[in-house]
Structure 1
Amino acid sequence: MAKFTLSLTLCYSLFHFYGGSWTKERWSRKNIVFFGDGTQFPLRPFLSSDPQKLGGPLYDPDGYHKYPEFLELGVTLLEIHLGQKLESYLGYEEDITNYDDLWCKALELFKELRPDFISTVYRDAIQKCLMANFSVSDACDEQMLRDSLFNDIVKPLEAEVGMIFKEFLSMDALDEEAERKINLGSKAKSMNRHAHSGITNTHSLQSNYDDISSPLNKQRTLPQPQKAVLTITTIRSRPASRDDFEIAIVCALPLEYDAVCILIDEFWDEDGDQYGKATRDPNIYTTGRIGKHNIVLVLLPDMGKVGAASAAASLRLSFPELKLLLLTGICGGVPSPGTAKELVLGDVVLSTSVFQYDFGRRHGDKFVPKDTSTDSLGRPSKDIRSLLKICDTNRGRRQLEKQTAFYLEYIQNNASTEHSIEQYLCPGAANDKLFEATYVHKHYGEPQCLCKSPHETCVNSRKLSCHELQCDEKFLVERRRINHKLQLEQQGRRKEAQAPAIFLGSIGSGDTVMRSSEDRDRIAEEYDLIAFEMEGAGAWDELPCIVVKGICDYADSHKNKMWQHFAAATAASVMKALLEKYT
């Protein structure tokens, strides 16, 4: 109760100060001082201000977390719960001064909190501070921020305190209650960030509650600010049954599954499967939450459309209320250099339709895919078409790409091991190589090799990388976007350079791995395709589906695995950004 009261005191005081002259300078955890005698929990925190030492904008457009005050408040609430500094808890000897590092470490620690050891309301307040980001504009005005602070953080904490005491109490009454019932001993000492000496312009948080309008005063009048447009991931209750799941995510490869798991906000099966499945359903399910959506994640036992169709059919039986399946992973892209559809490695494609290019008839030396209305896969459902239509607007695409870049950075900073962290890093524009369609990946100048035939390649050449095979780079295609990315990397603007573009269009799907640039270009041009993959045709007619795949190669003979993990990360990032728009 004491921690709850202390947190509410701090939140409500910041709410009162926010937007005033005192908080025009950046506020941080270092401006909080807790006064106590070491035997009672310090319920009277003070804020200190030294404008000559403080600095920085209230809005940080270049940071992972755009609003440092919300981040600092979230970290402080986390520290109050832990009973010690974040750095001390992590075993650091020095304070974390970089806001991006602070945000990542706080999120890691937050995910480790056991729900049974922390109030849902308190946990929700921490997460709202850590995950706050504005979806409408980059720089919301101070009033919107202040309104959000009250409605989304202060008010729920206040209501919880009121429920505990069955009435609203003054701060003095809460102090007396805490002093009478709570003795935390030496734990109070660990909360003190600074000694009493050397504090300038100190403001008591207690003074805010002397006003008759205080939310903790029995006779107070609650302020009613307008609700800000704030996109916040909230803590939600565990779904009661399989009927409460509406989103399915399907991956064909473990590396795709791993990238998606990093972006799941909460797992429902940490203590074992709670929901079961239908009789004879062979799928193994991972359940959890992404944002406001309960999701079920499936890793296919095999690649290809047969495995995808079987998994989707079983999903529909076990989770009958599913409304959307997101087929998330990697694919081969149609590069289209010099056009508006110029794709590069790491970009992500969203399916407006799926074309089964290996389903048709063989006529002598020619294969003809079936493309009549009766043979083609159906069109997306109306709600999917509406969602994709919004994403295809300039504003919708800009928002989607912005959130994608945010989640991509999150994956790169929250991978579980150093090895996987390196895997998710962008390989760099210099390693994005597109060869002319007529230049095949094989041995040249070896008369005894099968590669001497114009239409043949030996097995050994297919196993070698372009570097090992010494592919001639004079056949590389020069591209505008790659040149731009190289310039950004040279300027040290890594985040901008790695940010993926998002393309919407028809995707070719089949059980054949596309490794021919000539076939790729011919089929893509004839059927207006932007990428090739192997599972979409199987899942498409079983459930309402969107294929979300990152470009890991150019579906040519030079394809390799260098970009697979990064492309899986960009696809997972788009998947989560897309779910934020799905209602």
Structure 2
Amino acid sequence: MAHRLNHDAYTVGWVCALPIELTAAQEMLDEEHGDLPPDGNDTNIYTLGSIGEHNVVIACLPAGQTGTNSAAAVALQMKSTFRAIRFALMVGIGGGVPSPGTDVRLGDVVVGQPGNGHGGVIQYDFGKSTPSGFERTGFLNTPPPILLSALTKLQARYGRAKSDPWLHILKLSKLPQFSRDQVGDDVLFDGGYNHVGGGNNCMLCDDTRKLHRKKRAVNRPEPHYGTIASGNQVMRDGAIRDQISSEFGGVMCFEMEAAGLMNSFPCLVIRGICDYADSHKNKEWQPYAAGTAAAYAKELLLVIPAVDVMKTQTVDEATRDCQTVAISGLGGIGKTQVALQFAYSVKEDYPEFSIFWVQAMSMEAFERSCMEVATVLEMRQKSDDDVKRLVRRWLCGKKAGKWLLIVDNVDSLDILRGSEQRE
């Protein structure tokens, strides 16, 4: 019978997006634990187990759902059910960005590490349209100190040949789909050359457009550390890939989930490279890349002492002060539903919280919603008072207690900034 613990025994979260990533994660467990009674408000399905000294809870996005919003929903439910979690790892596949300075190849692993003025992950499709073009806005948090310290330690050990993450791939050897022998050649075309034909292979593509790279002395994956670009669309255009990479001072990988976690969940992103984020991409390398990412994640956890994890704040404690989380994406993809689900979850878990929902599709709508809040709170308002200022002051006062404010349909941050500037 599988060993069964309680919810508070789990201190590490592991989030993945695809079934093949979930399989790789499950195989990295040293011991698998028995399931716990489900929470009626939590739609995640968890795999529980241990890696080294750490008890780990693994969750995967629902089938067919990808993107930053889906990842955020899974993470929010995880931290609500498992209150003792200190941090999470976002582990899976991504599209590599080869460059003269970074020899990223298929099967390699890219880890989101701060640098070049970025926190390790950037959301390249979040911003606003202006007369001069698309203006990217916002900033994502860096990984927590305990994970950055672990990265330093692991990099040093790897450089001294004291650590070999790829040995953990042997745990996948009984599953043929994860074998390196199951994938073909690592072929890279120049960024301006698009795929020819509708198939998954490049038999019709021009061989003269292939980029020839020096053969590695050792045929094994390599880890890379730098900026990961996250967005809600699949990147499969080499020219746009290189353009965005240049704009951000060098991006190593593109993926679709990490931006949904970074500002609401202390997190590190680990991606196995399965394609080059261009039109030649296919799924052939996905299992192997999922395996290398999972193997690296396991090795990282093994260099973190459990006593250091216990000294770290829980996710709930780290986010207890007033925090701001943005759910971004195209219209109609479910952002409001994610916020609504979170509001119900907060109210059930924390009945003492007041929940406020205001509309901000325009300054007029924002002011009307603030007026409704002021009415509910029975605020005394003079005719020349700015109702937004009154509501804000009330929320900042002790009388307000604990609250959650959801601002919906924010098409322009200028609406919120304008209120702050007048304050």
SS of aligned partner of 2:26: helix
Pairing 1:463-542 to 2, within 5 Å after superposition: 463-468=198-203, 470-480=204-214, 483-484=215-216, 496-497=218-219, 499-527=220-248, 528-542=250-264
Residue 391 (structure 1) shift: 3.1
Out of 89, 93, 100, the position equivalent to 1:326 is 89
Cα distance in 1 for residues equivalent to 2:139 and 2:159: 28
Partner residue, 2:192: 438
Out of 108, 111, 126, the position equivalent to 1:359 is 126
Cα distance in 2 for residues equivalent to 1:240 and 1:466: 47
Query: CA 1:283 to 1:365, structure 2 compared with 1: closer, same or farther past 3 Å?
Result: same
Partner residue, 1:229: none
Residue 426 (structure 1) shift: 4.2
Partner residue, 1:347: 108
Partner residue, 2:168: 407
Contact preservation (8 Å) 1:248, 1:325: yes
Cα distance in 1 for residues equivalent to 2:84 and 2:161: 29
Unaligned runs of 5+ in 1: 1-113, 116-237, 416-420, 443-460, 486-495
Partner residue, 2:179: 424
Letter of the aligned partner of 2:255 in structure 1? E
Residue 465 (structure 1) shift: 2.5
| TM-score, scaled relative to structure 2 | 0.66
Residue 519 (structure 1) shift: 1.0
Residue 265 (structure 1) shift: 1.6
| TM-score, scaled relative to structure 1 | 0.48
Q: Deviations over 1:472-495 (max 9, x none)?
A: 111111112xx236xxxxxxxxxx
Letter of the aligned partner of 2:199 in structure 1? L
Residue 362 (structure 1) shift: 2.0
Q: Which has the larger radius of gyration?
A: 1
Structure having greater relative contact order (Cα 8 Å, sep ≥ 6)? 2
- More helix as a share of residues: 1
Partner residue, 2:49: 288
Contact preservation (8 Å) 2:177, 2:287: no
Cα distance in 1 for residues equivalent to 2:28 and 2:212: 35
Contact preservation (8 Å) 1:277, 1:318: no
Contact preservation (8 Å) 1:350, 1:548: yes
Partner residue, 1:244: 9
Residue 349 (structure 1) shift: 0.8
Residue 403 (structure 1) shift: 2.6
Residue 365 (structure 1) shift: 7.9
Cα distance in 1 for residues equivalent to 2:97 and 2:23: 26
1:547 counterpart = 2:269: yes
Partner residue, 1:573: 295
Partner residue, 2:417: none
1:311 counterpart = 2:74: yes
Cα distance in 2 for residues equivalent to 1:570 and 1:252: 15
Contact preservation (8 Å) 1:348, 1:501: yes
Residue 396 (structure 1) shift: 4.1
Cα distance in 1 for residues equivalent to 2:241 and 2:286: 19
Unaligned runs of 5+ in 2: 114-119, 306-423
Letter of the aligned partner of 1:307 in structure 2? S
Out of 133, 136, 145, the position equivalent to 1:382 is 145
Contact preservation (8 Å) 1:360, 1:367: yes
Cα distance in 1 for residues equivalent to 2:221 and 2:270: 13
Cα distance in 1 for residues equivalent to 2:43 and 2:71: 12
Cα distance in 1 for residues equivalent to 2:154 and 2:22: 24
Letter of the aligned partner of 1:424 in structure 2? S
Residue 366 (structure 1) shift: 3.3
Cα distance in 1 for residues equivalent to 2:160 and 2:247: 30
Residue 563 (structure 1) shift: 0.6
Residue 279 (structure 1) shift: 4.2
Cα distance in 2 for residues equivalent to 1:248 and 1:381: 13
SS of aligned partner of 2:227: strand
- More strand as a share of residues: 2
Contact preservation (8 Å) 2:92, 2:293: yes
Query: CA 1:515 to 1:350, structure 2 compared with 1: closer, same or farther past 3 Å?
Result: same
Letter of the aligned partner of 1:536 in structure 2? A
Q: Deviations over 1:279-305 (max 9, x none)?
A: 411111111111221111101112111
The percent identity for this pair of structures is: 36
